């Protein structure tokens, strides 16, 4: 039985010569399709060089027969929240000092104390929904929608590498110094992106992340 919160795909569109774009109705549906597509590719039932999730989309690139695959996917029933569990889930722990300059602002927005913000953020099991903005930057989901926060009205001209922030329903870590408008609640010294590593990005779609509170370092 299909979960009523997971509806059918809005649209499947051919993009260029060898790609398909799946547009979904919700972030949860996009993640369900990502999981199912990854499993199908690993089982040899799907030919695609790249499967790239977005907030509400999944892009399939390097597809030999886009039209044929689009017809096949349109015949699939909508995936449920647990459908298509892919390869063994990768888990990452990020040691985090919770001393961000926006910690009190987040606490006021949530109607809790700064200590409770830390407890909620560090207790959550976060999942990388998709990557973007900068190499190694993962958009993490893990808290209910009521904890979404607005971005800064005027972005900072420079956010230090390793800054842990919140924006909308997401948490994220800045891989390098850059401008940014996320609310900063802490920092980590973990290396998020290293061109010499395999894979270069520590956080990839599907990775489960826990923020582990540590003392000043």
Instruction: Give the CATH number, domain containing residue 97.
Output: 2.40.100.10
Q: Rounded to whole angstroms, what are the CA distances from 104 to 101, 115, 155, 182?
A: 8, 9, 18, 14
What does the pLDDT average to over 110-122? 97
My answer on whether 70 and 115 are in the same domain is no
Where helices occur in 65-126 by DSSP H, the ranges are 66-74, 103-110, 114-123
Instruction: Decide: 140 and 126 in contact? Cβ < 8 Å.
Output: yes
Asked whether residue 34 is domain-assigned, the answer is yes
My answer on whether 126 and 187 are in the same domain is yes
**pLDDT per position as a tens digit, 47-57:** 999 888 888 88
My answer on whether 121 and 208 are in the same domain is yes
Check whether 27 has a pLDDT greater than 90: no
Residue 142 pLDDT:
93
- Residue 35 belongs to domain with CATH number: 3.30.1360.40
Asked whether residue 150 is domain-assigned, the answer is yes
My answer on whether 53 and 101 are in the same domain is no
Burial classification of residue 91, based on how many CB atoms lie within 10 Å of its CB (0-12 exposed, 13-18 middle, 19 or more buried) = exposed
My answer on whether 101 and 65 are in the same domain is no
Burial classification of residue 129, based on how many CB atoms lie within 10 Å of its CB (0-12 exposed, 13-18 middle, 19 or more buried) = buried
My answer on whether 105 and 183 are in the same domain is yes
Q: What value does the mean pLDDT of the chain take?
A: 88
pTM of the model: 0.80
Asked whether residue 85 is domain-assigned, the answer is no
Asked whether residue 1 is domain-assigned, the answer is no
Count structural domains, the chain. 2
Q: Which residue range forms the structural domain that includes residue 25?
A: 11-74
Confidence of residue 9 (pLDDT cuts 50, 70, 90): low
How many CA atoms lie within 13 Å of 84's alpha carbon, on the beta-carbon side? 24
My answer on whether 24 and 125 are in the same domain is no
Indicate the helix (H) or strand (E) that contains 36: helix 27-42
Asked whether residue 80 is domain-assigned, the answer is no
My answer on whether 109 and 51 are in the same domain is no
Check whether 7 has a pLDDT greater than 70: no
Residue 11 pLDDT:
87
Give percent above pLDDT 70 in the chain: 90
Asked whether residue 84 is domain-assigned, the answer is no
Check whether 134 has a pLDDT greater than 80: yes
What does the pLDDT average to over 119-135? 93
């Amino acid at each position: 039985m299909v979960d009523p919160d997971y509806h059918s795909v809005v649209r499947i569109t051919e993009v260029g010569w060898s790609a398909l774009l799946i547009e979904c109705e919700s972030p949860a549906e996009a993640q369900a399709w990502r999981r199912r597509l990854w499993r199908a590719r690993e089982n040899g039932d799907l030919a695609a060089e790249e499967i790239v999730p977005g907030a509400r989309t999944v892009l399939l690139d390097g597809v030999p027969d886009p039209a044929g695959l689009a017809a096949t996917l349109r015949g699939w029933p909508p995936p449920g929240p647990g459908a298509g569990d892919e390869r063994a889930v990768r888990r990452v722990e990020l040691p985090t000092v919770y001393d961000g300059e926006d910690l009190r602002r987040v606490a006021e927005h949530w109607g809790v104390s700064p200590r409770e913000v830390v407890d909620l953020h560090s207790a959550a099991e976060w999942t990388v929904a998709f990557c973007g903005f900068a190499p190694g930057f993962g958009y993490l989901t893990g808290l209910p929608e009521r904890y979404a926060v607005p971005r800064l009205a005027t972005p900072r001209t420079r956010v230090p590498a390793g800054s842990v922030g919140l924006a909308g329903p997401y948490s994220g870590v800045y891989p390098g110094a850059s401008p940014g408008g996320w609310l900063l609640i802490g920092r980590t010294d973990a290396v998020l992106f290293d061109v010499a590593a395999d894979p270069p990005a520590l956080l990839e779609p599907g990775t489960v992340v826990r923020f582990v509170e540590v003392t000043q370092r």
